[in-house]
Amino acid sequence: MTHSSAMDEPATRDSPVRHTLHDARDWAFAAGVALLLGVLFQLGVPLRGSFGANVTGDEPFYLLTTESLLSDGDFDLTNQYATEAYRRFFDGDGPLWYQSVPTGDGRLLSPHNIGLSVLVLPAYAVGGVAWVKAFLALLGGLTAGWTYLLCRRALAGRRGSLLAVLLLGISAPFFVYTSQIYPEMPAALLTTIVVWLNLGPRGSIRRGVGVAAVLAVLMWLGAKYAPVAGVLGGLTLLRLTWHG
């Protein structure tokens, strides 16, 4: 007599719904993966962006917009440069450099989309840059958990899905980006959710509305995600209109 494993049930013709509508075990495994990796990713929070500063590259400018929203209620960075408010999160030896020039009306705006700055605003208000990194690390864990659900919906077994997601989570690109202040990890989460939704039953209007909402948020994270949003939106329309 052979015994099947509850952790790794193969897809069969008799049980297609099992991989489309996740059961309680799948959601429990996804939550466990999200929690485990979300905690693991906290190890990256105290890491410095470079030898000279705790945040570097584009990170300070996402935070500068967040600081402006918190202190002034606008996106104009003029006051933040004048008062060196960036010292609350940037500890480089010299002053923070400029990434943009004033507009015609004298405002100084960040060249980056505002989505990430708005997303991390509550965490920044509570605990500054450390809480922002910790929050993004938790989002990284959530991304990993949703990736597990995506694997299951793509007809992978539980054991294979768990192994794939755990290996992904400890890989260098995934682990490093989770605690860096860039839109890539939140964008990865939204993209994963859209693909997961698209692998659901065809013709669902609610799914189409959900995809549209998620893609709208994705575009606020960065105009560079427009090609991704266009492709995923097109696939969603095809699945909504084709019932074959």
184-213: average pLDDT: 89
Residue 28 has pLDDT above 90, yes or no: yes
| 12, pLDDT greater than 90 | no
Closest CA to 192 of 141, 136, 131: 141
Q: How confident is the model at residue 45 (pLDDT cuts 50, 70, 90)?
A: very high
Q: Quickly state the pLDDT bin for 16 (edges 50, 70, 90).
A: very low
Instruction: Say if residue 212 is exposed, middle or buried (CB neighbours under 10 Å; 0-12, 13-18, 19+).
Output: middle
Strand, helix or coil at 94?
Answer: coil
CA-closest candidate to residue 217, choices 142, 147, 116, 143: 116
Average pLDDT of span 76-102 = 92
- Among 50-59, 121-130, 207-216, the range scoring the smallest mean pLDDT is 50-59
CA dihedral 2, 164, 37, 56 (to 10 degrees): 180
- What pLDDT, on the 0 to 100 scale, is given for residue 241? 75
Share of the chain above pLDDT 70, in %: 89
> Concatenated DSSP letters for 160-204?
HHHHHHHHHHTSHHHHHHHTSSSSHHHHHHHHHHHHHHHTS-TT-
What Rg do the C-alpha atoms of the chain give, in angstroms? 21
Q: What are phi and psi of 183, to 5 degrees?
A: -80, -5
Q: What is the pTM of this model?
A: 0.87
Q: What is the pLDDT of residue 243?
A: 52
Rounded to a whole number, what is the largest CA-CA distance in the chain?
Answer: 79
CA 151 to chain centre: 18
Give Cα 122 to chain centroid, integer Å. 16
Mean pLDDT, rounded, for 39-48: 92
Q: What is the pLDDT of residue 219?
A: 95
Token representation of residue 242: 């084709």
pLDDT band of residue 238 (cuts 50, 70, 90) is confident
Q: Is the pLDDT of residue 21 over 90?
A: no
In the chain, the amino acid numbered 218 is L
CB 135 within 8 A of CB 128: no
pLDDT of 22: 77
Q: What percent of the chain has pLDDT over 90?
A: 69
At 170, list the tokens: 């400890």
Average pLDDT across the chain, whole number: 88
Q: Is 208 helix (H, G, I), strand (E, B) or coil?
A: helix
* pLDDT band per the 50, 70, 90 thresholds, residue 244: very low
Q: What is the pLDDT of residue 51?
A: 75
Task: Report the Cα 34 to chain-centroid distance in Å.
Answer: 13
The string of pLDDT tens digits covering residues 141-194 is 999 999 999 999 988 899 999 999 999 999 988 998 999 999 999 999 999 999
On the question of pLDDT at 27 being above 50, the answer is yes
| Spatial contact of 103 and 145, defined as CB atoms under 8 Å apart | no
